[in-house]
Structure 1
Amino acid sequence: MATFAGPARAVLPPWGGELAIELVDRTDWAALAEDPKWFVGWSDISTLLLPLTITTGVAALHGANLMDEPWELPTEFHRWTDVASLPVGASFTQTAAPHRRSRPWGTWEEEPLGRDAAYEAPTVWRALNGDDDVKMRGRLIGGCLETVSLLAGSRYGDVSGFAQRHAPEGVIVYLEVSDSDAATVLRTLWALRLSGWFDRASGVLIGRTTAPDVPDLTQSEAVERALADLGIPVILDFDTGHQPPQMPLVNGALAEVELVSGHGRITQHLVP
């Protein structure tokens, strides 16, 4: 709490957060909302980003930890510092990355930091149902599937309630899988569905993942079996998550997402 009470304009964790759930009901979220700052992070830090927006309506910035800072992002993306510097009411647009990382991680000292060497394999967003023209509009909310799903069923993960209070346009739920196998992903997505996460959703964004398939079930098939009959657009291999690069996404921002003939674009509006 002291960190958020100081003069800093943003709070950026270095790494980690595996046990962040221990802080959820010990945090005075209302007090944080009285002097809002940018809370930045991703992966396990989603456990804290989500409750901030869900319970208070204050935006949070998903997309970087301190240890991610040395890498250049694709020219199609904004850095989190660019986003955090924007005034209320501003908008920014990002387009899909043409390349992703596919090779195993080396040591920190050996990792290339430049964008041309860091991301070497082609990548493209794709619609779950195969459509060439997909559009969605709504308030962004989401994070790492393995961590935010633990909050479902509590007031800290009440996405349906958040939509009722803050998102008459509906919500765009974005989720990314760290390392859960396809069967676990299917079960977890169904748990979110039963908890009402998609009741007021206008679309879903699923990040790229290298998490394993299981016999007779791929990661994409897990998403299809859990979400295909919702009647809303679902985009796979979106630029968020544990297979870099990932673009900054603002929980609570009003977003417009388009996928036209393989070309993806997202515009985020920083409006109440």
Structure 2
Amino acid sequence: MLIPAHLNPGDKIAIVATAKRLESEIEQAIEIVKAWGLVPVFGQHTLANHGYFAGTDEQKLEDLNWALNYAEIKAIIFLRGGYGTTRILDGVDYAALKSNPKWLVGFSDLTSLLLQLENLGIAGVHGPMLASIGRDDASDNTLKELLFGETSFNYTLSAVTQEVTIQAPITGGNLCLVAESIGSENEIDLEGKILFLEEVGEQMYSIDRMLNKLRRCGKLDGCRGLIIGSFSNIGNANNYFSETVEELVSSYFSHLNIPIAYGLMAGHENQNLPLCIGRNAKVQFLKDRLEIGYLL
């Protein structure tokens, strides 16, 4: 697994859009990134509008490949999620990234790209994007620490099913994008890994359908642990489902003797604690917290 070099004050980072157009203020986020000592550089089309999207597919791909090839850019923080990244995945210059690895940071729709990077042997960061930086100090500070080389993190949980230590990479992200990856070049590989999941705005039956898809494909069988992040604004029409969404998710892993962590604040809430995707880690599932030590 290729681990990008940590950042240093004065480094340039690219701000690139691959999904939905910007519909919020980002001035505070820009000032926070500058306060970290970094120099944000926007792609030519980052703030473009093309209907729903932040520019045409060609414009988005041009910006991303520019950032991957520009040697002075040391990391890429994506503008926001929504939808659209999968439309350009197959045109990304991954060879440039493999020859000069740099941190790519995103969540939600960017899950698709993080899974693609993992399959290519490049670690990425599931964490706040520019449009969400400034919403929570803990999330911002943790992202800064991670990018600047810190490897040990302690996250609060609501509960765990087993107190155990596992050495394995963390993979996953947004459930919808994890399920969508099946059959594509970025198809999730769970064998021997810890799965992290989060979701927003779906109905309970849709959560069930996506998990059932992963089960039917045999994807869950090799999983060594489960981290349940934020499942936000999940609907339950007519109260057909009697269980909570966390209970529904964990039920798909009941046949496996693996630890399940509940309540990690990572996903579509203001607090969105970052995780490295694909990087080997020593993960301790403790009574009320998750201790993660990323390995080289």
Regarding TM over 0.5, the answer is: yes
Mapping for residues 33-182 of structure 1, pairs under 5 Å:
33-54=98-119, 56-74=120-138, 78-86=141-149, 91-96=151-156, 124-127=157-160, 129=161, 131=162, 133-160=163-190, 163=191, 170-182=192-204
Provide the aligned C-alpha RMSD in A. Answer: 2.2
**In 1, Cα distance between equivalents of 2:94 and 2:178:** 17
**In 1, Cα distance between equivalents of 2:266 and 2:164:** 18
2:228 match: secondary structure: strand
* From 274, 282, 294, the counterpart of 1:248: 274
* Compared CA separation, residues 69 and 253, structure 1 to 2 (3 A): same
2:158 maps to amino acid: W
Higher relative contact order (CA 8 A, sep 6+): 1
In structure 1, what is the equivalent of residue 224 of structure 2?
202
Percent of aligned pairs sharing the same letter: 26
CA contact (8 A) 1:183 1:222 kept: no
* Compared CA separation, residues 268 and 260, structure 1 to 2 (3 A): closer
Deviation at 1:135, TM superposition (A): 4.0
**In 2, Cα distance between equivalents of 1:136 and 1:23:** 35
CA contact (8 A) 1:172 1:205 kept: yes
1:182 maps to amino acid: M
Show CA shifts across 1:141-166 (max 9, x none). Answer: 11111122211232311404xx5xxx
Q: How many residue pairs were aligned?
A: 227
Show CA shifts across 1:206-257 (max 9, x none). Answer: 1122312341343123213322112212222222111231211001122333
Show CA shifts across 1:9-50 (max 9, x none). Answer: 111111134011111222232332111111001111112121
**In 2, Cα distance between equivalents of 1:270 and 1:258:** 14
Mapping for residues 255-266 of structure 1, pairs under 5 Å:
255-261=281-287, 263-266=288-291
2:132 maps to amino acid: D
1:246 match: secondary structure: coil
**In 1, Cα distance between equivalents of 2:183 and 2:281:** 25
Stretch of structure 1 that moved more, 175-184 or 146-155: 146-155
Show CA shifts across 1:168-211 (max 9, x none). Answer: xx211111011212221122112122334323321011112231
**In 2, Cα distance between equivalents of 1:181 and 1:192:** 17
**In 1, Cα distance between equivalents of 2:186 and 2:286:** 35
2:129 maps to amino acid: N
2:146 match: secondary structure: helix
**In 2, Cα distance between equivalents of 1:34 and 1:196:** 33
1:246 maps to amino acid: N
In structure 2, what is the equivalent of residue 102 of structure 1?
none
1:74 match: secondary structure: helix
Show CA shifts across 1:46-74 (max 9, x none). Answer: 121211112x1110011110022223433
* Compared CA separation, residues 72 and 16, structure 1 to 2 (3 A): closer
**In 1, Cα distance between equivalents of 2:124 and 2:223:** 19
**In 2, Cα distance between equivalents of 1:53 and 1:269:** 15
* Compared CA separation, residues 245 and 66, structure 1 to 2 (3 A): same
